[in-house]
Amino acid sequence: MGVNKRINKEIQNMMRDNDLMRNQFCIELINDSNEHLIGKILGVPDTPFQRGVFRIDITIPDKYPFEPPVCKFLTKIWHPNISSATGAICLDILKDQWAAAMTIESVLKSLQSFLSSPEPSDPQDAVVANQYTTDRAMYNMTAKYWTYCYAMSDDSRKNYDTNDFRVFQEKIECVRGATKGGSHERALTALSCNHWDVDKALKSWSNH
Query: Which amino acids are annotated catalytic?
Result: 90
Q: In angstroms, rounded to a whole number, what is the distance separating the alpha carbons of residues 167 and 37?
A: 38
Q: In angstroms, rounded to a whole number, what is the distance separating the alpha carbons of residues 112 and 154?
A: 22
